[in-house]
Amino acid sequence: MKRAAVVLTALLACGSAAAAVAATIPAPPRGNATISLPGDAGMAFKPGPGSNLAQAHCLACHSSAYVSTQPVLTRAQWTAEVNKMRTAYGAPVPDDAVPGLVDYLTARYGKP
Amino acid sequence: MAAGALPLGAPAETLELPFANGERPLLAFPQKRPLLVLTPRPPQLETPLAVFDQGVFTPNDAFFVRWHLASIPQQVDATAHRIAVRGAVRRELSLSLADLAKHRPVEVAAVNQCSGNGRGLSAPRVAGGQWSNGAMGNALWTGVRLRDVLDAAGLTAAAKQVQFDGLDAGVFPATPDFRKSLDIEVARGDDVIVAYAMNGQPLPVLNGYPVRLIVPGWYSTYWVKMLSSITVLDRTDDNFWMKTAYRIPDTPGNSVVPGATGFPTIPINRMRVRSLATNLVDGAQLAPGTRELRGIAFDGGSGIARVEVSLDGGTTWRDAALERDYGKYGFRRWNATLEAKPGAAYTIAVRAHANDGAVQPMTQGWNPSGYLRDVVETYRVSVA
């Protein structure tokens, strides 16, 4: 409590926007915090030709919801997305998988 | 990490966000109440708008979550955690949280808002995380000034930017590690802090336990979670997350015509002034009589001067009452009353003015990444 009072005085003196609002200043945490993330939480790609490619090449880094929550994208937009994953994010998607992947994404999550 | 390690089960509930393909399951992630799941891996969780109606500070278990890269530590030891301070400094440091706490603690109420908050409302739509307006929250952050840490290390004359890195990483080595940088002048600001508490409690792991950077007034892309290194650069950072991602058009209003290419860009920076109603949704039906309208407003750090409410879609305006001021970086709650006449319809609009003179626009600018949403929000309501 003594420390909090000192801090409040110092803050008022320096006139910063950082202001003591809480009654006491919390101390830094100690020890472990452990969580268990739910993976893909049961979400999966829609079935259809090429879904195996999406499973093989998209799920390495992210769940299917990255795809399924997008607005309806055109073939050109899905092509750009696949290329961005490869060139910007370093996803090891082989050249020969790209056409099938774009076909699948356009058919199931896009428009021609 | 096994899928299903957490007993999530089937979503008990879904919520429909106000744009096409906006259905989201509500699931409880670790240390979180059920939130709107944009993506489970890496976790991106949106706060339901109703939470913002319940208080000026967003509870830690309701605070939105956004990670870029899927390799996220699921166990973090705060006692063993160290922050490396290096680069263009006189003395390299390796700071424990106890070392950090030797500096004078400060607290600041500040809004943490995703650059892409409201992206799902972009017209035309753009690819990216399809958030409604719940990728934001307001907390009381406790920590120490970054400036004090930098001064303890001693900046050299070459110092130009400060780069921040956290414990998260990509799945593949070729994936650019998530690092963000601020100009020295910004990094040395009074209110930029290395925070170890949020609303008086340790940060939830998904919000960056045990320590994260807080850059009040700036979009949350700079608020690096699980902060593990502070590197003083003698140049402008050219890593992917600064040079390529999180850029806005360097054009009037930071806006371009949809489809435009070849325009110059700059890193996203301070937040735009915004306001929202928190007890209304578009399409709501109200009971006749005196109805209270409530909401929040905030900006990039000048503070809120005035909030106006219109009942006719922006033709006429009247002032809302501003509630308690917790500081220029936080949510400012406002309220107004509506005499709801039986059978009437209203297009309720809310417009905030910041102390720096900025006012929300009536039409939303557009950029290819769907950043900077700041339009006057409108809510069409009818009275029974």
Q: Does B14 touch chain A (CB under 8 A)?
A: no
> How many Cα atoms sit within 13 Å of B263 on the Cβ side?
18
SS3 B285: strand
Nearest Cα residue to A81 out of B125, A107, A108, A91:
A91
For the beta carbon of residue B75, count every other beta carbon within 10 angstroms. Answer: 10
Task: Count Cβ–Cβ pairs < 8 Å, chain A vs chain B.
Answer: 201
Confidence class of residue A7 from pLDDT cuts 50, 70 and 90?
very low
Determine whether the interchain pair A70/B74 forms a contact, defined as Cβ–Cβ distance below 8 Å. Answer: no
Determine whether the interchain pair A61/B201 forms a contact, defined as Cβ–Cβ distance below 8 Å. Answer: no
pTM score: 0.93
Chain A residues inside the 8 Å CB shell of B328: 17
Q: Reply yes or no on whether the pLDDT at A18 is more than 70.
A: no
| DSSP result, B125-194 | --SS----TTSEEEEEEEEEEHHHHHHHH-B-TT--EEEEEES-B-SSTTSPP-EEEEEHHHHTSTT-EE
Structure tokens at B161: 């930017």
Average pLDDT, chain A: 86
| Beta-strand relationship, B13-16 and B23-28 | antiparallel
For the beta carbon of residue A31, count every other beta carbon within 10 angstroms. Answer: 12
Locate tokens 């750090």: which residue?
B301
For the beta carbon of residue B382, count every other beta carbon within 10 angstroms. Answer: 13
Q: Chain B closest CA to A105's CA: distance in Å? A: 13
Question: What pLDDT is recorded for position A23?
Answer: 60
B103: phi then psi, degrees, rounded to nearest 5: -80, 165
Chain B residues inside the 8 Å CB shell of A88: 176, 240, 244-245
Question: What pLDDT is recorded for position B12?
Answer: 66
Type of residue at A72: V
Nearest Cα residue to B49 out of B81, B26, B70:
B26
Nearest Cα residue to B107 out of B198, B22, B19, B226:
B198
Higher pLDDT, B275 or A7: B275
CB < 8 Å from A in window 249-288 of B:
none
Type of residue at B302: S
CB < 8 Å from A in window 329-348 of B:
329
Determine whether the interchain pair A25/B37 forms a contact, defined as Cβ–Cβ distance below 8 Å. Answer: no
Confidence class of residue A112 from pLDDT cuts 50, 70 and 90?
confident
Given a contact cutoff of 8 angstroms between Cβ atoms, the answer to whether B193 and B141 are in contact is yes
Spatial neighbors of A52 by CB under 8 A, at least 6 apart, are: none
Question: What pLDDT is recorded for position B7?
Answer: 42
CB < 8 Å from A in window 232-251 of B:
240, 244-245
Q: Does B104 touch chain A (CB under 8 A)?
A: yes
> How many Cα atoms sit within 13 Å of A76 on the Cβ side?
2
Question: ipTM for the complex?
Answer: 0.93
Determine whether the interchain pair B326/A21 forms a contact, defined as Cβ–Cβ distance below 8 Å. Answer: yes
The whole-angstrom separation of Cα B225 and Cα B193 is: 12
B361: phi then psi, degrees, rounded to nearest 5: -80, 155
SS3 B15: strand
Q: Chain A closest CA to B168's CA: distance in Å? A: 13
The dihedral sign for the CA sequence B101, B104, B109, B111: negative
The closest CB to that of B106, out of A11, A81, A91, belongs to A11
Q: Reply yes or no on whether the pLDDT at A20 is more than 80.
A: no
Nearest Cα residue to B25 out of B4, B8, B42:
B8
The whole-angstrom separation of Cα B329 and Cα B191 is: 10
Which run of H or of E encompasses A106? Answer: helix A98-109
Chain A residues inside the 8 Å CB shell of B29: 35, 37-38
Determine whether the interchain pair B210/A20 forms a contact, defined as Cβ–Cβ distance below 8 Å. Answer: no
Q: Chain B closest CA to A25's CA: distance in Å? A: 7
Helices (H), chain B: 97-100, 146-153, 184-187, 240-243
Residue of A35, A43, A82, A106 to mutate when probing chain B, most B C-beta within 10 A: A35
Nearest CA in chain B to A62: B41
Q: Chain B closest CA to A90's CA: distance in Å? A: 5
Question: What pLDDT is recorded for position B297?
Answer: 99
Chain B residues inside the 8 Å CB shell of A102: none
User: Which positions of chain B have pLDDT values less than 70?
Assistant: 1-12
